[in-house]
């Protein structure tokens, strides 16, 4: 897998830092971290990421809305992290998701699926 520039949308600073560390260990770079819908949209426009990885529930808004808004500007592979995959699948049945807490192999597999889905769109 080629190294990716990843936009992480996560409002928990510890999880965002852990994700950055895991993604870095996988050879990827976190180009930006956003904690709100507005920050996510601005970061996506500024950084032009290869992948968007978003938590579903944010303190101020939600990650699904952030990703949908980002996709209005430009298609980009995306995936979600959540403790509630059922709620996500009800809203977006074909969403690529990894359940929290996650393992590195599960994250790697979800990234591959997101990239494949993004190539098909």
First and final CA of the chain: distance in angstroms? Answer: 19
Predicted TM-score (pTM) of the model is 0.94
Architecture of domain 5-120: 3-Layer(aba) Sandwich (3.40)
Greatest pairwise CA separation for the chain in angstroms: 33
User: Would you state the torsion angle of the CA atoms of residues 82, 84, 88, 94, taken in this order, to the nearest 10 degrees?
Assistant: 80
Q: What is the pLDDT of residue 84?
A: 80
Q: What is the pLDDT of residue 89?
A: 87
Question: What is the full per-residue pLDDT of the chain (121 aa) written as tens digits?
Answer: 799 999 999 999 999 999 999 999 999 999 999 999 999 999 999 999 999 999 999 988 899 999 999 999 999 999 999 988 888 888 898 999 999 889 999 999 999 999 998 766 5
Cβ count within 10 A of residue 109:
13
Q: What is the pLDDT of residue 13?
A: 94
Where along the chain do its domains lie? 5-120
| Token digits of residue 101 | 């807490």
Q: What is the pLDDT of residue 119?
A: 64
Q: What is the pLDDT of residue 121?
A: 54
DSSP letter assigned to residue 17: H
- How far apart, in Å, are the Cα atoms of 23 and each of 17, 28, 37, 64, 88? 10, 5, 22, 21, 23
């Amino acid at each position: 897998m080629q190294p990716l520039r990843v936009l992480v949308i996560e409002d928990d600073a510890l999880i965002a830092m852990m994700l950055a560390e895991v993604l870095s260990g996988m050879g990827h770079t976190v180009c930006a971290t956003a904690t709100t819908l507005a920050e996510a949209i601005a970061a996506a426009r500024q950084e032009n990421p290869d992948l968007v990885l978003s938590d579903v529930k944010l303190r101020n808004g939600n990650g699904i809305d952030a990703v949908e808004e980002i996709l209005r500007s430009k298609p980009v592979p995306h995936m979600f992290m959540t403790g509630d995959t059922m709620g996500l699948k009800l809203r977006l049945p074909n969403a690529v998701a990894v359940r929290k807490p996650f393992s590195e192999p599960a994250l790697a597999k979800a990234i591959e699926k997101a990239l494949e889905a993004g190539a098909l769109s």
